């Protein structure tokens, strides 16, 4: 419990919303902020209940074609080619295009795919690659973010929700992107390194593809539960039918710029379908 002399914590609110301090705000040592948003208020009350970090809702976002207008893996492949890291660019890119087609068809061998993506990095030090990734994120990724998706990500944060970006792309890309977007974390496939910090070309841990995304999320939730920080509700956003296991797991699934199979499934289930390439609908409208 904070001391009586502790400085009051910041309060965040949507524009035009009157902020009133919750009586719990000064008593909760684990809460960074209180957010007051009428759309989430209990019926008949003028302000949101206290949202504590201990059990605040969690919003999970896919990255490629959900927050990003495009595929960061394909963009990174072209970046690696420009770096001179690929010997036969034509063959390498052709394999990548085949993998992309197989992904959309639901037939991708994810282990073949990750091995292909990591092959140009074998023997390269993680610091060298990270420098290129940082430039890549600023020059290639940030200009192609979908405004509606980023607004929704921010809206969840302002509502006191935790946010995760979960992606089938590699963690050495997704982690820096999530950090740049100020998400609370990233779940993605981790590359393996040798004892000198160099890429081995292998992966380690959960491969976050299809059911692997659900496994990674469940592992995260288990850790949160052990720390008594399990979220009270789960939101999920994705464009792909490959993420149906994940979307069926959450309490509030959303199909964003969905492919045809996901759109059909979402409409049959009555899930919200949004197109962030066209517009932004706030969580108030859900």
Can you spell out the DSSP letters for the chain?
Answer: ---TTSPPPPEEE-TTPPP---TTTTT-TT---EEE-GGGSPTT-SSPPP--TTT--EEEE--BTTTBSS-HHHHHHHHHHHTT--S-HHHHHHHHHHHHHHHHHT---HHHHHHHHHGGGTT-BHHHHHHHHHHHIIIIIGGGB-HHHHHHHHHHHHTT-EEEEEEEEEHHHHHHHHHHTT-SEEEEEEEEE-TTSBEEEEEES---STHHHHHHHHHHHHHHHHTT---S-EEEEES-GGGHHHHTTSSEEEEES--HHHHHHHHHHT--EE-TTT----GGG-
First to last CA, the chain: 36
Give 107-137 pLDDT, tens digit per residue: 999 999 999 999 999 999 999 999 999 999 9
Active-site annotation holds for 135: no
Q: What is the pLDDT of residue 243?
A: 93
Residue 197 structure tokens: 């910090």
Q: How confident is the model at residue 21, as a pLDDT?
A: 37
Residue 53 has what pLDDT? 52
Is residue 25 scored above 50 in pLDDT?
Answer: no
Integer Cα distance of 180 and 72 in angstroms: 14
Asked if pLDDT for residue 24 goes beyond 50, the answer is no
Share of the chain above pLDDT 90, in %: 68
Q: How confident is the model at residue 56 (pLDDT cuts 50, 70, 90)?
A: confident
High-pLDDT (> 70) share of the chain, %: 78
The structure tokens 């019926």 sit at 43
Among 137-146, 238-247, 264-273, 275-284, whose mean pLDDT is lowest? 275-284
pLDDT of residue 52: 45
- Is 285 a residue whose pLDDT tops 90? no
Domain boundaries, the chain: 59-285
64 is catalytic: yes
Residue 16 pLDDT greater than 50, yes or no = no
Tallying the residues shown for the chain, one arrives at 286
Distance of CA 252 to CAs 94, 158, 266, 272, 286, Å?
Answer: 37, 18, 12, 9, 9
Q: Which CATH superfamily is domain 59-285 in?
A: HAD superfamily/HAD-like (3.40.50.1000)
- The mean pLDDT of 77-98, rounded to a whole number, is 96
Q: What token pair was written down for 150?
A: 């980023």
Q: What is the mean pLDDT of residues 154-159?
A: 92
Does residue 51 surpass a pLDDT of 70?
no
Q: Average pLDDT, whole number, for the chain?
A: 82
Whole-number CA gyration radius for the chain: 20
Average the pLDDT over 259-285 and give the result. 83
**More confident of the two residues 153 and 280:** 153
pTM of the model: 0.78
From the candidates 26, 30, 55, 64, give the one annotated as an active-site residue. Answer: 64
Residue range 158-179: average pLDDT? 94
Cα–Cα dist 36/46, whole Å: 9
* Rounded average pLDDT over 239-260: 94
Per-residue pLDDT reduced to its tens digit, 30-42: 443 333 333 333 3
Catalytic residue from among 26, 32, 55, 62: 62
Q: For residue 224, what pLDDT is reported?
A: 81
Question: Residue 54 has what pLDDT?
Answer: 56
The pLDDT value given to residue 286: 56
């Amino acid at each position: 419990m904070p001391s009586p002399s502790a400085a009051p914590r910041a309060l965040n609110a949507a524009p035009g919303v009157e902020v009133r301090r919750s009586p719990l705000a000064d008593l909760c040592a684990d809460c960074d902020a209180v957010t007051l948003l009428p759309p989430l208020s209990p019926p008949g009350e003028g302000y949101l209940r206290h949202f504590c970090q201990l059990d605040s809702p969690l919003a999970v976002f896919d990255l490629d074609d959900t927050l990003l207008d495009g595929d960061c893996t394909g963009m990174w492949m072209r970046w690696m080619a420009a770096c001179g890291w690929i010997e036969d660019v034509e063959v390498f890119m052709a394999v990548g295009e085949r993998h992309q087609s197989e992904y959309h068809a639901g037939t991708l061998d994810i282990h073949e795919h990750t091995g292909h993506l990591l092959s140009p990095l074998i023997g390269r030090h993680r610091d060298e690659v990270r420098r290129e990734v940082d430039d890549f994120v600023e020059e290639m990724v940030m200009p192609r973010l979908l405004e509606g998706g980023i607004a929704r990500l921010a809206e969840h944060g302002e509502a006191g929700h935790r946010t995760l970006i979960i992606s089938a792309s590699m963690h050495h890309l997704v982690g820096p992107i999530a950090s740049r977007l100020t998400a609370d974390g990233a779940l993605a496939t981790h590359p393996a390194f040798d004892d000198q910090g160099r890429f081995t070309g292998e992966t380690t841990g959960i491969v976050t593809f299809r059911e692997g995304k659900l496994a990674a999320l469940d592992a995260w939730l288990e850790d949160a539960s052990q720390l008594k920080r399990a979220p009270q509700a789960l939101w999920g956003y994705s464009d792909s039918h490959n993420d149906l296991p994940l979307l069926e797991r959450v309490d509030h699934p959303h199909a964003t710029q969905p492919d045809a199979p996901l759109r059909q499934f979402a409409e049959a289930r009555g899930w919200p379908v949004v197109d962030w390439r066209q517009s932004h609908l706030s969580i108030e409208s859900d």
